[in-house]
A and B are shown apart, each in its own frame.
Chain A
Amino acid sequence: MSAIAMTDIGETRRIAARRRDRLISVGSPIGLLVAWELAAQLHFIDVRFFPAPSSIVRALVITAETGELLDNLAISLERLVFGFLLGGVPALVLGIVMGISRPIRAFVDPLISATYPIPKSSILPLILLIFGLGEMSKVVMVAIGVFYPIAINATAGVLQINKVYLDVGKSFKAGRWETFRTIALPGALPFIMTGVKLGAGLGLILIAIAEMVGAKSGIGYMIWSAWETFSVERMYVGLFVIAIIGFVMTLGLNELERWLIPWKAET
């Protein structure tokens, strides 16, 4: 009897603790915003650098009404998606093939190792030179950023597959394509998803940089032009929107992961 009561209390406590944690998590950004607003209104902070949240919201509404925000958001997202496909699909195929084939791995691995450490932002001038100021240069920048983490993780993902599964495939007479489809790809998928998440983050960083320097549209351009005209509120709107894109992307990829890899033990 007492044991049951004990677990009951423990359970109640745990639920209460979880509710408290959630309140704190929601409360902390709200608290920060309130403190920020007050500090700005009372001129404790320099509003030229840190405009009050209320004035940022006003700027957000204005940029949304003029269509400036949505146009820039749409073009940035388009570049992200195309860049992701252009870099991600070849990376996925090459990464898995490298995991399966020793000679191909021996050939490609040093090339990847040598070019991977180059900061991707440092090759932006070269990309602009080659692809010009049009859409292609921005898409290529995203593609380059996405390529490395997906290729590297796909290779690592295939290499960590337990050898017994390949023996099983061989003993059940699975051909090359069947081995790829039924063993290498699903076995490497958890690693590949990690690569996709890393790649998405890098793609977002690179699109912002590329648009600041070499574009006349996009969220990155919006932030840069706000700096040039010293409209700090609009700059904050751009930052805020990029944060939202990153947040939604993470949520979406987590959901995709749960859908693609239902066989992973929940932790």
Chain B
Amino acid sequence: MEGGNLTRGGAAVKIRIRNLHKHFGGLNAIEDVSIDIAEGTFFVIVGPSGCGKTTLLRILGGLEQVTAGTVDLAASARGRPQFSMVFQGDSIFPWMTVWDNAAYGLKMRGAPRAEIDATVGQWLERTGLTRFAKLYPHQLSGGMRQRVSLARAFANDPEILLMDEPFSALDEQNKTILQQELLRIWEADKKTVVFITHSVDEAVTLGDRIMVMTASPGRTKTLLDVPFERPRNVLELRHDPRYGEIVYGIWGQLKDEVERARV
């Protein structure tokens, strides 16, 4: 991955993906995806199950290699990690307390003790976990565990946050609450986010820019901007007449792909 300054129409480009292909044996998972993601954008990728969106995120996070194509990142400040990932489902360590889980990234990169204490304390406070710092994951609800996962990623202070359907396992009420909290903590310093979801509602609620992917093999079907101003209120947003229109529009795009994925 090369450094340097990338630009696209004036805004600084944080992630530039060019002609990315990914094959697993004979299976063609991703085919010729090219996107620019501007600095500070909440970028959402939505697509039918099995369209390769998780694979794309894992490539960005260094957990998979590309078959062909390039991924470039804008030059970063030294010492800060480029990515932190929030995984789908339960991914916090059951053998660590909430505090130790949140501190994991900082510990792995050898941050000084005082910095770890201050940063973790701050993020537990922001995610409402301070009271639970000494508890183990099995003592928490699913929503609380996913808060820990968010705190772990944010406390690592990466340049880019990668989120792989972090709320898909939660019930509707918890999902709404956590979406609002994610927006609240994200809006404090607006890091670049790449967020994967299969939920159109979630994409429109959270994203600045949405990419709809085709069914396997995954390609870019549409890119669109979400016009809602920030800060957003997750509930009020649903009142906005434009909300229904955008969701409807995306569903129109997605419908054919979902049909195709089922065949």
Contact = CB atoms under 8 A, between A and B. Distances in A.
Contacts of B77: none
Given A186-B93, A189-B95, A172 B84 contact: yes
Interface string B103-123: 011001100000000000000
Interface in B155-180: 156
A115 interface: no
Q: Name B's interface SS.
A: loop
B78 interface: no
Contacts of A189: 95
A168 B94 contact: no
A165 interface: yes
Contacts of B156: 172
A114 to B, nearest CB: 34
A174 to B, nearest CB: 5
Given A172-B108, A263-B137, A167 B95 contact: no
B146 to A, nearest CB: 13
A171 B84 contact: yes
A170 B91 contact: no
Contact of A263 (B61, B95, B105, B108): B95
A173 interface: yes
B87 A164 contact: yes
Contacts, number: 57
A263 B91 CA distance: 15
Contacts of A165: 91, 93
Interface size of A as a range: 20 to 34
A251 B45 CA distance: 54
A265 B136 CA distance: 9
Interface residues of B, number: 23
Nearest to B89: A164
A186 B95 contact: yes
Interface string A171-210: 1111000100011001101000000000000000000000
B83 interface: yes
A171 B93 contact: no
A71 B94 CA distance: 45
Determine which residue in B62, B89, B95 has the highest number of CB atoms from chain A within 10 A of its CB, and name it.
B95
B138 interface: yes
Interface string B76-102: 000001011101011101111000000
Interface in B48-91: 61-63, 81, 83-85, 87, 89-91
11 contacts: A165-B91, A168-B87, A170-B63, A171-B85, A172-B81, A172-B156, A173-B81, A174-B108, A263-B95, A263-B136, A265-B138
Given A164-B90, A168-B87, A187-B95, 11 more contacts: A164-B87, A164-B91, A168-B85, A168-B93, A169-B108, A172-B81, A172-B104, A172-B156, A186-B93, A263-B95, A263-B137
